[in-house]
């Protein structure tokens, strides 16, 4: 049997992965995605029968950080095998082919899997001047996305740029960059934001797609609820210090050394939905807050433009001193006018006496 | 622009502008009114002492009235002190003000602030129930009284809900909390909340006039 025709179960057996390990993996994914435990055997059976899924991954206006994150695995885990199992038919950075050969690879993949392939998008898409600011092989990424989306079964936007525009869309957004769902509106789209996103989220999404043939349940920003329902603040191990009123006010004070809450240092944990606090990065080694830095809110739209990473969430935009002075001057004028009117009224009533 | 961006940006600036215009308008408007002449001869000197004394004497009811209105005063003190403690010693609030004054200060633990806020909110509801149940108080209450109660209570309720993570989305809750505070600021100059400015002036004036006429403060 050709390697390409193997089911996932057969592939795992070929790789020497025991059913016990596979069931553990399925239970883990089910748990992280809030799928009932009773569903795990059915999920495992369905997943084992899954055939190799065609995936086309496009890199648009991006920095390759997302790809770095997704490929950063240290051990030959089942998660890795899930990544390996999909047929990554096109990826600029990882494939050997270049130029015309690369384009041929996309066209072949599209033709052979029309209507069935999963389109993974990394990076924002510029709209300004017909998308001329981001071009590959003479084709704007705007046109490329429209063309590829047409034959896709579903689209997964990887990273904050593909999801919401990210750094490309930061003010003043010179290229008119946007996320995928602002361009494509007639396909199932799932956003996996993060700068970079978490590999485990991608595993969960791929597993769900392979097992159930559909994208998982999403929130209002099209993020999988299983990973993005809670805020970082909800799950942060420093939350107890917030509740106790113990804070770090600088990166080298007593509070910082004792690992207290980083809220005054601009931590965006309370308004950021992601799973970093529970899954962590680099296979559970650490995550930004554990390293002593506040959350920068990278999985939320417009996180670059939220008044700086070090300004506390409680801070507001007070406006200019001139504006407040003008308001006070207007108040004086209104007050004086009211008093004059009142005095005139008094004079009128008293007849000037 | 998200609701939180709106609450922290344009909404806050608009609320501050309206608050400043309104407060200055009211203060200047009253200050520039024609002062009432007291044509009587002063019965004793140093009316201003009576004015200062009035500030403190009227902070608690006259003894014979204590059984009748003492509880009302107590509820009032709980509300005002609670408001002060939560506003000044709640860490997020301190950081909010620190952004403009440029320095930070000691704050109370979150649990203490939450407890104070709960007690204050309860006191606000007791005040409302009393207003609704007491026939005289109900009769003399108008829209301003209920609106003042609402804009004062809303920031407490929304703030507690935000602290206790009772909203489906924290940021939406935070935005609603901020917007409720801006509503308070906008209403402040035009309703009974102006007593924050007037109470000192009115108590002093009453005290000094009584003293001038030879009465007690």
pLDDT tens, residue by residue, B137-183: 999 999 999 999 999 999 999 999 988 878 877 778 889 999 999 99
What residues of chain A lie within 8 A of the CB of B115, using their CB? none
Q: Which of A175-189, A250-264, B104-118 has the lowest mean pLDDT?
A: B104-118
pLDDT tens, residue by residue, A124-149: 999 999 999 999 889 999 999 999 99
Residue with the two structure tokens 């509300």: B79
Question: Residue A19: its pLDDT value, please?
Answer: 79
Q: Tell me the HSE value of B206 on the side-chain side, using a 13 A CA sphere.
A: 13
Question: Residue A210: its pLDDT value, please?
Answer: 78
What residues of chain B lie within 8 A of the CB of A233, using their CB? 170
Chain-chain contact of A331 with B23 (C-beta, under 8 angstroms): yes
pLDDT above 90 covers a percentage of chain A that reads 44
Give one DSSP letter per residue of A101-139, joined into a string.
HHHHHHHHHHHHTTTTEEEEEESBEE-HHHHTTSEETTE
Question: Residue A282: its pLDDT value, please?
Answer: 82
Confidence of residue A311 (pLDDT cuts 50, 70, 90): confident
Residues 101-130 of B with CB under 8 A from A: 104, 107-113
Question: Residue A77: its pLDDT value, please?
Answer: 59
Is A74 a residue whose pLDDT tops 60? no
pLDDT tens, residue by residue, A190-247: 999 999 998 888 777 877 787 777 888 898 899 999 889 888 988 999 998 887 778 8
Confidence of residue A51 (pLDDT cuts 50, 70, 90): confident
Is A120 a residue whose pLDDT tops 80? yes
Q: Which one of B171, B178, B179, B186 would you mutate to disrupt binding with A, by most A Cβ within 10 Å of its Cβ?
A: B171
Question: Residue A312: its pLDDT value, please?
Answer: 86
Closest residue of chain A to B14, computed from CA coordinates: A319
- Name the token pair of A59: 């890199």
Query: Taking all residues of chain A, what is their mean pLDDT, rounded to a whole number?
Result: 86
Is A96 a residue whose pLDDT tops 80? no
Confidence of residue B124 (pLDDT cuts 50, 70, 90): very high
Is B104 a residue whose pLDDT tops 90? no
| Per-domain boundaries in chain A | 53-226, 232-305, 319-353
Distance from CA of A221 to the nearest CA of B (A): 12
pLDDT above 70 covers a percentage of chain A that reads 93
Query: Taking all residues of chain B, what is their mean pLDDT, rounded to a whole number?
Result: 91
* Average pLDDT value for residue range A251-257: 94
Chain-chain contact of B96 with A314 (C-beta, under 8 angstroms): yes
Question: Residue A1: its pLDDT value, please?
Answer: 47
- pTM higher than 0.95 for the full model? no
Chain-chain contact of A318 with B12 (C-beta, under 8 angstroms): yes
Question: Residue A45: its pLDDT value, please?
Answer: 79
Flag whether residue B31 sits within 8 Å of chain A, measured between CB atoms.
yes
Question: Residue A4: its pLDDT value, please?
Answer: 57
Is A75 a residue whose pLDDT tops 50? no
**Coil, helix or strand at residue A97:** coil
What residues of chain B lie within 8 A of the CB of A339, using their CB? 28-29, 31-33
The CATH number given to A53-226 is 3.40.50.700
Confidence of residue A29 (pLDDT cuts 50, 70, 90): confident
Q: Is A221 exposed, middle or buried (0-12, 13-18, 19+ CB in 10 A)?
A: middle
Higher pLDDT, A77 or A246: A246
What are the residues facing A224 on neighbouring strands? A218
What are the residues facing A87 on neighbouring strands? A54
pLDDT above 90 covers a percentage of chain B that reads 60
C-alpha separations of A76 from A3, A23, A52, B133, B179 in Å: 19, 16, 19, 72, 51
* Average pLDDT value for residue range A301-323: 83
- Answer yes or no: are the C-beta atoms of A311 and A318 closer than 8 Å: no
Question: Residue A141: its pLDDT value, please?
Answer: 95
Angle at A92 between CA A88 and CA A94, to 5 degrees: 60
Q: Which of A296-300, B75-79, B95-99 has the lowest mean pLDDT?
A: B95-99
pLDDT tens, residue by residue, B35-88: 877 788 888 888 889 899 989 988 888 889 999 889 999 999 999 999 999 999
Measuring CA to CA, which residue among B107, B76, B65, B104 is closest to residue B90? Answer: B107
If you average pLDDT over each of A6-15, A17-26, A322-331, B115-124, which comes out highest?
B115-124
Residue with the two structure tokens 């507690």: B160
Distance from CA of B128 to the nearest CA of A (A): 30
Flag whether residue A6 sits within 8 Å of chain B, measured between CB atoms.
no
Q: The domain A232-305 is classified under which CATH number: 4.10.480.10, 3.40.50.1000, 3.40.830.10, 3.40.50.300? A: 4.10.480.10
Rounded Cα distance between A9 and B102, Å, is 62
Is A3 a residue whose pLDDT tops 60? no
Is A73 a residue whose pLDDT tops 90? no
What residues of chain B lie within 8 A of the CB of A271, using their CB? 4, 170-171, 174
* Average pLDDT value for residue range A31-41: 75
Which among A270, A306, A335 is the nearest to B24, CB-wise? A335
* Average pLDDT value for residue range A282-288: 87
């Amino acid at each position: 049997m050709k390697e390409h025709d193997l089911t996932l179960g057969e592939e795992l057996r070929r790789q020497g992965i025991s059913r016990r390990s596979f069931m553990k993996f399925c239970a883990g994914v089910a748990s992280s995605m809030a799928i009932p435990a009773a569903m795990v055997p059915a999920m495992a059976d369905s997943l084992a029968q899954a055939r190799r899924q065609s995936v086309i991954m496009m890199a648009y206006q991006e920095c390759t950080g997302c790809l770095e994150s997704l490929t950063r695995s240290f051990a030959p885990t089942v998660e890795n095998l899930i990544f390996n199992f999909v047929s990554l038919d096109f990826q600029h950075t990882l494939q050997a082919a270049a130029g015309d050969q690369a384009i041929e690879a996309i066209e072949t993949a599209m033709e052979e899997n029309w209507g069935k392939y999963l389109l993974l998008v990394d990076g924002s898409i510029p709209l300004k001047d017909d998308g001329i600011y981001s071009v590959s092989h003479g084709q704007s990424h705007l046109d490329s996305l429209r063309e590829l989306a047409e034959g896709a079964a579903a689209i997964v936007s990887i990273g904050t740029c593909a999801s919401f525009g990210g750094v490309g869309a930061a003010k003043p957004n010179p290229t008119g960059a946007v996320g995928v769902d602002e361009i494509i509106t007639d396909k199932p789209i799932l956003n996996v934001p993060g700068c970079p996103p978490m590999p485990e989220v991608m595993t969960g999404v791929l597993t769900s797609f392979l097992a159930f043939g559909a994208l998982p349940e999403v929130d209002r920003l099209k993020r999988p609820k299983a990973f993005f329902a809670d805020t970082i603040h909800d799950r942060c191990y420093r939350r107890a210090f917030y509740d106790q009123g113990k804070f770090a006010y600088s990166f080298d004070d007593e509070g910082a050394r004792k690992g207290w809450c980083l809220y005054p240092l601009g931590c965006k944990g309370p308004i950021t939905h992601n799973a970093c606090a529970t899954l962590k990065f680099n296979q559970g080694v650490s995550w930004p807050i554990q390293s002593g830095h506040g959350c920068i809110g990278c999985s939320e739209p417009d996180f670059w433009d939220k008044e700086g990473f070090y300004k506390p969430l409680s801070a507001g935009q007070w406006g200019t001193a001139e504006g407040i002075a003008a308001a006070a001057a207007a108040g004086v004028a209104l007050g004086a006018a009211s008093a004059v009117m009142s005095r005139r009224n008094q004079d009128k009533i008293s007849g000037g006496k | 622009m998200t609701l939180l961006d709106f609450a922290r940006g344009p909404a806050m600036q608009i609320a501050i502008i309206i608050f400043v215009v309104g407060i200055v308008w009211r203060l200047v408007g009253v200050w520039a009114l024609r002062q009432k002449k007291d044509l009587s001869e002063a019965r004793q000197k140093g009316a201003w002492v009576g004015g200062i004394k009035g500030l403190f004497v009227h902070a608690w009811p006259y003894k014979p009235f204590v059984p009748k209105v003492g509880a009302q005063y107590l509820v009032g003190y709980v509300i005002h002190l609670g408001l002060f403690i939560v506003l000044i010693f709640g860490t997020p609030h301190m950081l909010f003000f620190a952004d403009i004054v440029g320095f930070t200060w000691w704050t109370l633990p979150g649990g203490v602030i939450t407890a104070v806020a709960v007690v204050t909110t309860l006191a606000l509801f007791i005040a409302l129930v009393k207003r609704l149940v007491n026939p005289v108080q109900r009769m003399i209450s108008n829209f301003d009284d209920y609106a003042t109660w609402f804009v004062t209570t809303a920031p407490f309720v929304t703030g507690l809900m935000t602290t206790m993570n009772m909203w489906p989305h924290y940021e939406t809750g935070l935005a609603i909390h901020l917007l409720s505070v801006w509503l308070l600021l906008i209403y402040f100059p035009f309703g009974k909340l102006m007593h924050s400015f007037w109470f000192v002036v009115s108590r002093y004036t009453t005290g000094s006039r009584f003293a001038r006429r030879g009465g007690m403060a």
